[in-house]
Structures are given as structure tokens and as C-alpha cells.
Amino acid sequence: MKRLHNLSIKRKFALVLIPLIVTIICFDILQIRHDFYDYQDARRLNKAINIGIDISHLVHEIQKERSISVGFQANSGESFHENLVHQRQKTDSLLSHLYVELRAPTYQELLINHGEDLKNMKLQLEQLLEVRSSVDQHTLNTDEIISHFSEINKAALNTVNQLINETRDKTAAQQVHAIIYFLDAKEYASIERALGTYTFSTSNQSRNVASEFASLISSQEAYLDAFLTISDQESKNYYFNTMQGADIQEVERFRAKLNVTDNPDVDPTEWYTVVTGKINSLKQVEDFMLENMHNYTENMAANARRDFFIFLLLDFLIGFITFTLVAMIVLNLIKNVAVLEKFTREVTAGKTSERVAIDTRDEIGHYANTFNIMLDKLISTQSELKQAKDHAEYMYENIYKQSEVVFENVEQGIFLLDKDLKISSLYSKAVEKIFDNEMIASENFCNFMRPRIMERDFEALQMFMKHLFNPDMDEEVVNQLNPVEEVQIYITKNGVVISKHIRVSFTRIVRGEEIQSILVTITDETESVLLQQHMKETENMKKQDTEYLFNILKVDPGMLQEFIKETRETLKSISDRYEQNESGDLNELLKYTYRTVHKIKGNAMTTGVELVSNRVHKIEDSITKMMDIEVTADKFLSILYELEEINKTLTELQKMLEKVGEIYKNLYAKNELSSKEKLENDLRNGLQTLCKETEKEVDLDLRIDDAIDLDAAYLSPVKDILNQMMRNSISHGIEDSEERISKGKQEIGKITVALSQADYDGISVTYEDDGRGIDTNTLMIHALASGLISHEESEGLDDHQIAELLTNDGFSTTTRADKLSGRGQGMSVIKSIVEEMNGSLKISFKHDRYFRVTVTLPNVDQQSFEKVA
């Protein structure tokens, strides 16, 4: 079924129409054949009727001859002699006519089928001469004559019967049968005539003629009844009209005579005449019927022929019209379908310029129109789509590309974040530049930031992003908590970590009620931050310069000059020692450095160069830390670097000093100070500075022996020693005013310094303060804690031994390390200076009363001193 549905329309038409046409043609052929057979049948019947008529004419004459022959034989030729001759001629004439007819070519085809009957008929007819000769010689009796003639007639009538009883036409067949019955009836009438003629011709009534007559009449009546039953109305009418008159009634009268009397007195000729009259009437009916039948068959043939031709003509005509119509319609349909199909193929292939042209108004025509309308709409839609596409392309070209250009060039890092915090694939080029990373698209923003920011900021950022996407939270409120608003990021670039200062801001992008994404804007503020820092630094520098200037201005330029010179030399001694350090004992070098630095700090403070003292204090810190661990060359170098920084500061100070040098030159040119004055100035200034820092009030009583020759070689060590002593006193010895009052001392502390000429070309320096002196118990506790002495050793120490402890390295009574007090190294520093000068040191004290140090420095020659310095 599916295969049937899949056939093309052309094949479907073929499948439907071809069997139909074949069937119609077959029916047509059958009908034509039928008409032709009807015609043939009619023709054949017509010919058969013609022959039948000839035969029936002959039979009629033979019937007459039979009756005449019987009459002739009954009275031995008395009567009917003439009649007989005349009749025989008549019979022969019809016989020869029949033979002529039978030989006619037009009947040959018909007669072939009836050869047997004809042969039989001819044989019987040939008997006729013999019968006649026997009649002439009176060798036959009546019955034999009747029998012979009847045989001949029987054969002839049988032939007629066979010839005409062959038709397809019902009416004709019925009438043929009627005629046959009629002929039989007439034959019996004729036999009755013959028997009557014999009966009335002879006086011998030995035979029971009456019963024979009755039999003949009844046979006659039976055939007539059968004839009347099936005959057509016209023949019946003709029969009844014809079979009237005197002869018919006379025949009845004669018949009655035969029944009533055994010996009727009747003239056989009269009987013959009367009966012949009747039989002639019958013949008349027979002729009428045969003539009618002849005409009928002729009509039938003509009708059949006409029907045949009319049907043939109509057939051709209708066939032609039908075929033409079908061909026209089907071909048109197929053509239109093909046109439509071709068109749809073209449209499918994209050719839309043409329109399908089908001018029929059937469904296909409508389809074509609809299709054209559809195509128009399609084209218009296409054109709309194209316009939209062009517009979209235009938009893309002009807007997207513009935004791309903007994104390429904008200085801010701009991108969008989706709900999963993924960075949009479209982002401004600046993002890559800021993070020095090109793998940004689709990265999770928090994860991306994690290695670049502080862990605490990362934690805050995660929380912040969550709130930022929460529509219940006010954007401004959340943005107040932006943890990366100003943040420092760390980026590894070529293996080096660099930091940048960025500002990140977030803006919600809302569609309807939903927060669709977050617009992130990142600004690299490194430059401005660095600029700010730079400005701050510059400001600091300026501040430093000012500080330098202040330092210079408030410090005596000579002292400063000296300080710079001395400090440089001292610093140089450290690096020299480091370079000459063959033993590799860095610990010893470190201790030396420490002492030296501490000395510098003291000088810086007494000189009032805070800049240097501050820095030196830091270096002291570094060294202290280093003292607790194993010193390495590297670490020691770092100290040297720091000292180098001091050197640089000194250079700066030097430059600054030179700048203002002129001023000082002019100011102090005439006012050259002696070394004694310088020492006094230095000491007083130093004390002032120390007092200011500690908020203590201390007086200095400085007595310098006029005779003393304060050589430049002594000046520096003496100053260092006294500075250190003053710091110790103020830091540890002299109490604050409150404490002093409570102890019943003068509110203001007092330091006494006396410089005098020693006995052996040296100088003696006596230093004393009126402070706490030394609390031996506390000292012992510290000494034990520092591990300087054991418990056993602590028993029975005299003042001298206690004083020895004070000068030990690392000893301090203060736990507090500040610029002022140092770390208990004060006395050890003094001791080392004294030892360097080959001098002696004597310490005496009284708890809560005084602390005194007496230093004696021998007169050393210039060379040896320089070597030590």
C-alpha cells in the first residue's frame, strides 16, 4: 500500500486509467462483436427464410400433388388426370427453382452447416419421380402414396425447420416456432385433404376413415393451437381474418358428413377444391408470416448493422472524446504538477526571482497562487531578515567594535562577573596589563585575586562578593565594605615579585529584579600612590635637610667639624680592623665595633647631632641582637653597611656644614676657641642635651687646671670618657628631683669634673656625681644574674673588686636599653679607652652619696696615640 502511495502522480494516473481503458475497450469489442453477430444472425436467418419460403412453396405444391395423386389413384385416373399433370409441372417448376436457389453462391455458407438435412431432402425429392411413376402405373395404394409424399414433405419441412430454427433473436425464434407449428398444421390439413380426396373418390369404405380423420383434425388443431399460442399478434389477426369464408365452413360440413354417414355422397373434386381453398388460405397465412419473417429478419439485419455502425461510431466518438478529455486533463494535471515541482525545486535551490505560472483554476492553480503569495511573503520576510541582519551587523561593526576599541584603550580594567564570579570573556585590555596576565577570561574572580592579595582581604572579598549578589542587600551598603577598594596586589613578573596599588569598584547590573552581573572597574593607582610616597619621601628628605640644618645651626660648627672628622676616622678604624682581621675572631671585632659605636653615640649626643645618635642607636640594636648568636662575615658586613650609611650622613652633614660654613666663618672668625674652651663647651652642651631628654636638672662644676696642657691627643679621649661618665650619671646615678628631695639632697644634681696636671707628664681627670653611688646588693644580684661571678666569689668582695665588676663587658644595672644609658657598657667603654691610652682607672663610691672615677692618662707620644686611635 505504501509503495502504491509512493508512486508518482503520472504512474498513479496510469495505474488507474490503463485498466479502465482496457476494460472499456474489451467491453466495446464484445459489444461490437455482439452487434456483428446479431447482424450475421439476421442475415443468415433472412437467407434461411428465403430458402424456407422456396421450400415451403415446393412443399405446398407437393402437398397438392399428393392429394391429386391420391384422387387419381382412388378412381384409377378417372378424375384428377389433368390436374395431376398440371400439378406435376408446377411442382417441378418450383423444384428446379429451388435447386437453382440452392446452388446460388450467396447461400453456400448457410447450406454447408445443413448439408445432412439438404442431402436427405434432396434424396427424398429424388424419390418424387419414382413415386410419380408408381402412381401412374397404379402400383401404389393410397396409404403408400400419402406416405411417400409425406416422407418427402417431412424431409423438406424438417430442412425448413432446421434452417430457420437457428436464431439469437427471441422474437424471431418464437415466430419461427409458430411458423413451424403452422407448417405442421398445414401439412396435416394437406394430409386430411389427400385422405378426404381418396375417401370421397372411392366407394370402398372398408377402412375406418372417420377415426383417421379425427386423428388428423386433432393433430391439425393441436399444431394450430400451439401456433396461436406463440405466434405474434399480427399473424394471429391475419390468421383469423383469413381463415373465414365459405371454404372454411364447407370443410367443416364435409368433415361432418364423414362422421355422420359411412357413405357420403360427395364429389372428391369438390372436396379437393374446398379444402385446397382452405389450404390456400393457410398458405396465404404462411406466406404472410414468412414474408413478415423475411421482412423482420431483413429489418433485424439492417438494425443490427445500423446498431453495429452506430455503436462503432459512438464508441469511436465517445472513446475519442473521453480519451481526449482524459488526456487533456491528466496531461494538464501532470504538467502542472511538474511545473509546480520544478518551481519548488528552484525555490528550494534559492532561485526566487520567478513566479509559478499555472492558469488553471483548480486546486493546483490555487496552490500555485498560494505558493506565489507564500513566496512573496518569504521574500519579504527574507528581506526583513536581511535588513535585520544588516542592521545587526551594522550594530556589531559600529557598536561592538567601538566598544572593543574602547576596551582596548581604556585605562581602567573593566569586566563583568557572572553569578559564579566568572570573569567575562570580554574585558578591557588594561586588565591584562594591570595583572600582567593574559589568562583572565572565565577565571573565578576570588580565586584569581587570592594569590595576589592578603589572606584576610581574600576572606573579606569572598564574603563581599556573596553579599554583592544578594538582592536583599543594598548595593551602596555592601559597597561601603569593599575590601579591595584600595588594595596592594603582588604580581610575580619574570620571577620577581612586584607590588601594585589598585582600586577596585563594583556596580550591580540589574535586569528586572535580578542581579544579572557585576561590573568591575579596576584602576591602577600605583603611580599616584608611588608619587604620594615619593612626595612623602621628598618631604622627609626636606625634613632631614632641615634637621641637618638645625643640627648644624644649633651645634658649634667647630665641634661639628671635629665630630665629623673624629667619627669618620673612628668608622674607618672599624673597617680597617675588619680588613686586617687575620685571626678571624669576629666576636672580638664585634665587641670593638660596639664599643666604638657606643663612643660615637655618646659624642653625637653630647655634640647634639641627634641625626647620628638616632642612627647609631639602631646599629647598636643590630649589634646587640648579633651578640647573642654566632657572628658570620655576612652579618658583620651588614653592620659595616649600616655604618657606611652613617658615613653618608656625615658626608651630607659635611656638605651642609660647608654651605653654611661661610656664615660660621664670618661669625666665629675672630673667636677661635682654645681646646679647654672647646672641651667645656662640648661637655656643657652634652649635659644640656642629656638633661633635656631625661627631664633631670644637673649642674656641671668643671675645674680645669690652668697649668694643664690639654693636648689635642688628650682632648678626644678625655671628652669621650667624660661624655660616657655624664651619661652614666644621668642614666643611673643622679635621681630625679622628687627622689633627691626625699633623700634630703639638693633638688638639682651636681657633677664635678676636675682636670689637673698629673705628676708624670700626664693628666688626671676626676669625675664625681652626687647620685646614688652604687648599691652593692643590687650590683651583686646583677652580677650573679649575668653570671659574672659565682655565689662563692660574691662573698667578701671589696670596693675595688666591685668597681672591677662595673668595668666588665656586658655588665649593666639597667634593664632598659635606650640611647642615653646604653646597655651597661658605659664603664667598659671607659675602661677600654683608658687601657688604649695606657692610663689607669680608679672607681670609688658611697651608696646614696657619690660616685667617683679618677682617670690618669700618661703623656704618650703622638705616634703611639695615633696608632691606637
Partner 1 sequence: MKLLIVDDSSIMQRTIQKNLNDYDLEIVGTASNGSQAIELVKTHKPDVITMDITMPEMDGITCLENIMTIHPTAKVMMITALSDKLTGLQALEKGARGFIYKPVNSENLTRALDKLLKRNVNGRQ
Q: Which residues in this chain contact partner 1 in the complex, by CB under 8 A?
A: 456-457, 459-460, 463-464, 467, 473-474, 476-478, 480-483
Shortest gap between Cβ of 469 and partner 1 (angstroms)? 12
Nearest approach in angstroms of CB 787 to partner 1 is 45
Toward partner 1, which CB reaches closer, 470 or 838?
A: 470
Least distance (Å) between residue 475 CB and partner 1: 10
Return the closest-CA partner of residue 744 out of 848, 847, 845: 848
Q: Give 674's DSSP letter.
A: P
The single-letter DSSP state of residue 735 is P
Which of residues 21 and 460 has its CB atom nearest to partner 1 in the complex? Answer: 460
Provide the minimum distance between the beta carbon of 483 and partner 1 in the complex, in angstroms, as a whole number: 4
**Rg value, the chain, Cα:** 86
Of the two residues 330 and 473, which places its CB atom closer to partner 1 in the complex?
473
Which CB sits closer to partner 1, 26 or 481? 481
Q: What share of the chain is helix, strand, coil (3-state, %, to 5)?
A: 70, 10, 20
The conformation of residue 105, written as its DSSP 8-state character, comes to: G
Minimum distance, C-beta of residue 505 to partner 1, in the bound complex (Å) = 14
**Least gap, CB of 454 to partner 1 (angstroms):** 10
Distances in Å between the Cα of 234 and the Cα atoms of 185, 201, 284, 289 are: 19, 38, 14, 9
Using alpha carbons, list the distances in angstroms from residue 828 to 458, 713, 810: 54, 21, 8
Q: Which three cell numbers stand for residue 751?
A: 657633677
Report CA-CA distances (Å) from 650 to 41, 266, 511, 546, 747: 162, 209, 68, 15, 39
- Total residues belonging to the chain: 869
**Residue at 168: amino acid letter:** R
Under 8 Å between Cβ of 809 and 826: no
Q: Which is nearer to partner 1, 135 or 484 (CB)?
A: 484
Cell numbers for 616: 647609631
Q: Which is nearer to partner 1, 482 or 526 (CB)?
A: 482
**Residue closer to partner 1, measured from CB, 53 or 453:** 453
Written as nine digits, the cell of 477 is 551598603
* Buried b or exposed e, range 158-175, using 16+ CB within 10 angstroms: bbbbbbbbbbebeebbeb
Query: Dihedral, CA atoms, 164, 168, 174, 178, nearest 10 degrees?
Result: 0
Q: Which residue, 172 or 461, is less far from partner 1 as judged by CB? A: 461
d(CA 149, CA 645): 185
Beta carbon of residue 456, minimum distance to partner 1 (angstroms, whole number): 6
Question: Taking the complex as a whole, how short is the minimal distance between the CB of residue 415 and partner 1, in angstroms?
Answer: 22
In the complex, least distance from residue 506 CB atom to partner 1, rounded to whole angstroms: 13
Kindly list the distances between the CA atom of residue 756 and the CA atoms of 163, 725, 761, 837, in Å, as whole numbers in the listed order: 203, 17, 11, 17
Cβ-based burial of 336 (10 A; exposed 0-12, middle 13-18, buried ≥19): buried
Residue number, 3 or 456, with CB nearest to partner 1? 456
468/616 with CB nearer partner 1: 468
Q: Which of 40/507 has CB closer to partner 1? A: 507
Q: What is the dihedral of CA 368, 373, 379, 383, to 10 degrees?
A: 180
- Residue 689: Cβ within 10 Å count: 21
How many whole angstroms separate alpha carbon 700 and alpha carbon 749?
Answer: 9
| Nearer of residues 460 and 715 to partner 1, judged by Cβ | 460
Q: Which residues have CB under 8 Å from 684's CB, separation 6+?
A: 700, 702
Determine the Cα–Cα distance for residues 720 and 837; give it in Å rounded to an integer: 12
